[in-house]
Amino acid sequence: MSFAQLNLAPEIERAVEEEGYETPTPIQEGAIPGVLAGRDLIGCAQTGTGKTAAFTLPILHRLRAGTRGRLRALILTPTRELALQVAESLRVYGRHLRLDAAVVHGGVGLEPQQARLRRGVDLLVATPGRLLDLMGRGCVDFRSLEVLVLDEADRMLDMGFIKDVRRIVAATPSRRQTLLFSATMPDEIRRLAREILRDPVNVEVAPRRSAPAAGVRQTLFPVASGRKRDLLAHLLETEARGLTLVFTRTKHGANRLARDLEGRGHSVAVLHGNRSQSQRTHALASFRGGRTRVMVATDIAGRGIDVDGISHVVNFDLPNVPEDYVHRIGRTARAGATGDAISLVSPEDHPHVRGIETLIGHTIERRVMQGFAAGPGMAGPSASSPTVARARAAGGPRPVARVAARFRGHGAPRRGWAVRRRA
């Protein structure tokens, strides 16, 4: 299918062509016809699949005719960074249309945003907290609203915005088109979808096979569950001496780990959904500027981390979703540089390792750090094995065995999905 077959307005099709896109991605091909037909929609797709254009293109098509200067489409995003990205998509693809889009988010003054809304807009991109502030000041009129989009709904859940989202949805007209996009579908998001969508079209894009950047050196360290913090502290003192990004599975786990590392003398910043916008901004600025050497983050909050010069990514907890592993380690080795991705793996992590290695199509090298190994069947050769003895004789700096053996029960890698250029 080509973009021409989607029957978008000529002005929009022209803008797409000017950007060099000819073929829609799977999420665009699946979602755009339903949105054009006025259906509610659930789009389940990972970041980087072209999902932003999957809703901005048909919304621009719908709003190109009609009364201007009245708010007709609202797009909610979890972060300022994503709001600006969506607003840029509207600007690029709507460049040949006479539509007025605005973006409102926290971290800046309210007054300019109030003045902007009072002048009238056709489309509004907003973060939940700032939108509620503006609604409380009487600056937002939803009476003409036709389309509501919740973008990255799972991330809004992780960041604690779902109550705010429900308040905003309740203030919009019941006769509206609602589009919900989410990389994952936890139970709370499914409940929300059942409450606010009517007979939605479901579009789910299977994650394609992912390949980490060539410059990323990937290593698994088998470790007993109770020794993970000790091993991480050891690695931060011996190997991971540059900017280091550490991922945990939960917000509370991130807080506990950060306190432990601070108690050991490390400078640590924390990034997760319970942090305020000002706290997140300060943490990122401190990490980016090198004033804080270690950042501890959760997956969904970590999507917004765009920092050059990260030398090490450490998976303190392996992610539940294999694709998140690739997203995590992609924070290092950027722009042709090299970097290290270290995973601390306990026996209970075997299923996660199998899923990751199946996704990336190869086995990740194992290293055994003396004194931290998880026990038989997990680590490969012991620190006293001939392999390590030869390494010591050769002047190796650490009592480490390097092995490249599979965990038991791994299957053959699956074939991946082709990667296409995306709008």
Q: State the pLDDT at residue 329.
A: 92
Task: Find where tokens 């392996």 sit.
Answer: 318
Residues 346-367 have a mean pLDDT of 88
- CATH fold group of domain 216-403: Rossmann fold (3.40.50)
Which residues make up the CATH 3.40.50.300 domain(s) of the chain?
Answer: 3-204, 216-403
Per-residue pLDDT tens over the stretch 308-318: 899 999 999 99
Q: Are 247 and 314 in contact (CB under 8 A)?
A: yes
Taking the CA atoms of 285, 288, 293 and 295 in sequence, report the sign of the dihedral they define: positive
Per-residue pLDDT tens over the stretch 195-210: 999 999 999 986 555 6
Count CA atoms within 13 Å of residue 21 on its CB side: 23
Residues 342-363 have a mean pLDDT of 88
The CATH number of 3-204 is which of 3.30.565.10, 3.10.450.50, 3.30.365.10, 3.40.50.300? 3.40.50.300
Per-residue pLDDT tens over the stretch 390-412: 333 333 333 333 333 333 333 33
Instruction: Give the highest mean pLDDT range of 65-79, 199-213, 403-417.
Output: 65-79
Per-residue pLDDT tens over the stretch 112-125: 999 999 999 999 99
Q: 10 Å Cβ neighbour count for 173?
A: 11
Q: Burial level of 374, CB count in 10 A (0-12/13-18/19+)?
A: buried
Buried b (16+ CB within 10 A) or exposed e, 113-125: bbebbeeebbbbb
Q: Are 27 and 2 in contact (CB under 8 A)?
A: no
